[in-house]
Structure 1
């Protein structure tokens, strides 16, 4: 190997191979005289810029100045574009000549490889902090939970789980309009258990009104057995934060007449489940009770 070839290999190792240890590197073999190369260059540069936070980089190799490197990769025509990860070629991207084609191929590759881009790193940093906020909220300290989620919102203002967590803390503090405003910043098609829980909690907060004399209403409902009074009682129990009592009231109503008011008791119970969180152990226990009533 000549000194020039050794220098080219060292430069390739520094500029391409080493970055590929953590990133997906697109290697563009090109030449100044190549017309198709000039047409492809802006496409590669735009997609590389758009995918930078996903861990994608672009490296350009002039085949005239790096004939030894091109020969090692058996480049017979240009433009030739390869994808390298952890020092190994993982795909031939040469057939992708449009932005859409290139994006499609990169998306397929990124789904299969553990490429750690900025987005993934940021998500990994946020996950334990979000979990801490959720635990504080679950433990019954919405004021502290709100403080946690507001700090997270400064770090990731558009993160769906952060927005939903902040909204649920606001709901627990009775600040419903602020919670609605927070959720309104999310796209209409935003999904996820935290978002569904926050939206259900707002629906409950609007529907389940506080009752001044809850014990008196409970006595009336017990004495008369009127479904309307029991339904109002369940709403008052939910507004007071007594989910156990609310669930017991609604389950008893469903057991007696599941079709009452077009299944209103069952629907309210399901909304309560969603507001608490479908993965919550409490919800799982209540679901078993509901199943026993419906199918027992």
Structure 2
């Protein structure tokens, strides 16, 4: 997957989620709610058909967890229709990590005009109201699944760990039955703390979840990422890099830069820095560096290809 220039993601990351053919929709603006249009409805547990009436509410739901918009036309581009179907189907596999919004530009041309859609297919991720172009072609389902996994894993590494609740035709997209934003109640206290800037509170809430269920991978990843945020509060990146350059075997100096790289979306750089540190150190220092690296693995997700590769490199460094 090739990177391209995109708007900054969460936590100020400059990491992109794009592939060849991505387009820049940095000027994306929500279409006004209301107006004529067919009645929308859920087409899957985590996908919904969009029209002028619910389009804005779906964009607003991106403050809870990511929304992936797919613009398609079965008449102009049959492959775009197939892509929309694939995304709707795959969304269920991710159990609320994102909501797919399906925009049929034939049925809702006003949305396409308002969004200045250049062509279909077009897929855009919206996180906290900010758009990030993903692709404008129609990859096969396996490749699409891999792309979605990479998007979710990077967002988790950046502290975006909310979930949407399953959609129902009885509630508007992006809202629960009472009209409020949907969120998995297990993670709501930690997410609320993060949104309020209360990192210590988020750590406590995620720790409670992990203590209650050590097998909760989502809570473990949230705790690991919140801990990274806790460790880096008030850190100066330039000063940290200078300290690490002056003290190449100082575990605290190196782990600080690794944490800052993680927050900036430079996951491989963070991993490689600590793997090299493991190679250079021994005894307690080596153990400290290794344990810190394992914490970063948890923050990203143990199934992430970058983690799998780094684990192999770590094993080589150790043995």
Which has the bigger relative contact order, CA under 8 A and spacing at least 6? 2
Query: TM-score, normalization: structure 1?
Result: 0.43
| Structure with greater proportional helix content | 1
